[in-house]
Structure 1
Amino acid sequence: MTDYDAILFDNDGVLVEPPSRETLREAARTAFEAVGVDDADERHVEDVMYGVTPELLGRVCDHYGLDRAAFWEARDRRAAAAQRTEFREGERDRYDDVAALADLDHDFGVVSSNQHLTIEFVVEFFGFEKLFDTYYGRELTVESVRRKKPNPHYLERALADLDTESALFVGDSESDVEAADRAGLDSAFVRRSHRADLELSVDPTYEVEDLWGVAEIAGRT
């Protein structure tokens, strides 16, 4: 069994339930309205609600003659606000198996492609301050879209904070596995119910059903 000094976690779908598609869709729709587009094509709303790339963002903004930075900030702020509402109203919660981490003697961090505003809220809302030594989400900038996983940018920043090279990254997506590989880390893919049918084209170091499985990998006794 490999010894790890630190374990890094994706947020959505790993530590907390993922946001609903309707929440992200409505946030994208109102972002268009905020910058003066009241009749955005539904295809363009879908384009920017989840998994957007800089190139796709550019094409959508050019179609409407929008400033990319202004539109993206509007989109991200609304997405972050909508997610806070989900948590506060009990529509979204942490996973119970976060308890599996309590007895592990490791440094912990969070690395997400969600907004840093959202990650800050999650850490405070669920009382994660004592559990996680560092955490990163995206800034509200177009440049941050280029730094999303599988880019290892935020992983590398977290590793620098923890001053470790022996770490495991736990995620629930192909981009998480790819980011870990690019950062030279082992990966654990968590196949929760929302990932039951996902076929990966990359091989994680481990595959587990939940965070209890991660605890076993880390050597919990």
Structure 2
Amino acid sequence: MLKGLIFDVDETLVYYEGYDHREWFENWVKPELEKRGIKLDYSLYSKTARLELPRTYVKKLGINPVELWRIIDEVNWKYRKKMLAEGKIKVFPDADALEELKNLGLKLAAVSNASLENALLVLRAFDLERYFDAVFGKDYANLDGVKPNPYLIHKALKALELQPNEVLVVGDSENDILAAHRAGVKAVNVVRFGRVEGADYYVDSLWELLELIRNNPV
């Protein structure tokens, strides 16, 4: 019986108007790293961000990986604050369905590859935090524990006190689906920007997710 849902945050509940990953790195992150004497190009950054290389790989360059990611996350917080002030971070209109999902008696968690502070910043900006029993972001004690690693999904399951077969993971990306399946949880792909292969269920909106749950005790 379904008892809980674990949601991705970025591009599932909120989206970023005009965001370009490389441009963000070159204009926001790289200058701040250089101020601290850290040289890191976009190619290596993106490989570690996507876990094509472990995040500890930068130790080979004499860079402390925890320090590196704390700086990146501080920059990201400033970037998000600016984007919010300019109205360029927006909530998907169907996020209202969270209230109805909560009213079904389900436990809800949010899990993000961003830092906890950055995840909470956008959730609070749109008054979404109140729907969640637990929120998790990047763990500096386990930098490689971000999705598609199942680590954060396991943390959410523990916090919700639920078993993998009692939960669905809801997200927009392949990382969400892989993390769910590696944790033994079924995954719902919210088709925001294209269908991701491998999900157990597909919905076009959170309202459709609500109907799926109401009509099928998945």
Q: How does the TM-score come out when normalised to structure 2?
A: 0.83
Give the total of aligned pairs.
207
State the partner residue of 2:185.
Answer: 185
Tell me what 2:70 maps to: 73
User: Who is 2:144 aligned against?
Assistant: 146
Q: How does 1:1-221 map to 2 (within 5 A)?
A: 3-18=1-16, 20-21=19-20, 22-37=23-38, 44-48=41-45, 51-53=49-51, 55=53, 57-58=55-56, 62-63=60-61, 65-104=62-101, 105=104, 106-139=106-139, 141=140, 143-165=141-163, 166-192=166-192, 195-196=193-194, 200=197, 203-219=198-214
Q: What is the DSSP-based 3-state SS (H/G/I as helix, E as strand, rest coil) of the residue aligned with 2:202?
A: strand
CA contact (8 A) 1:25 1:46 kept: no
Asked whether the equivalents of residues 171 and 189 of structure 1 are also in contact (C-alpha less than 8 Å), the reply is yes
Separation in 2, partners of 1:45, 1:159: 34
Contact 1:28/1:49 (<8 A) preserved: no
Mapped to 2, the partners of 1:16 and 1:220 lie a distance apart of 26
Identity, % of aligned pairs?
25
SS in 1 for 2:83: helix
Aligned-residue offset at 1:59: 5.1
Query: Is 1:8–1:110's contact at 8 Å kept on the other side of the alignment?
Result: yes
- Could you say what secondary structure the match of 1:114 adopts? strand
Gaps of 5+ in 1: none
In the aligned structure 2, how far is the partner of 1:109 from the partner of 1:89?
Answer: 28
- CA shift for structure 1 position 124: 1.9
- Matched residue SS, 1:77: helix
CA contact (8 A) 1:47 1:56 kept: no
Instruction: Please report how far the alpha carbon of residue 26 of structure 1 lies from its aligned counterpart in structure 2 after TM superposition.
Output: 2.6
Structure 1 Cα separation of the partners of residues 29 and 43 of structure 2: 8
Q: Which runs of 5+ in 2 are unaligned?
A: none
Partner SS state of residue 117, structure 1: helix
Is the partner of 2:158 in helix, strand or coil?
Answer: helix
The RMSD of aligned alpha carbons is 2.5
Residue 109 of structure 1 deviates from its aligned partner by 0.9
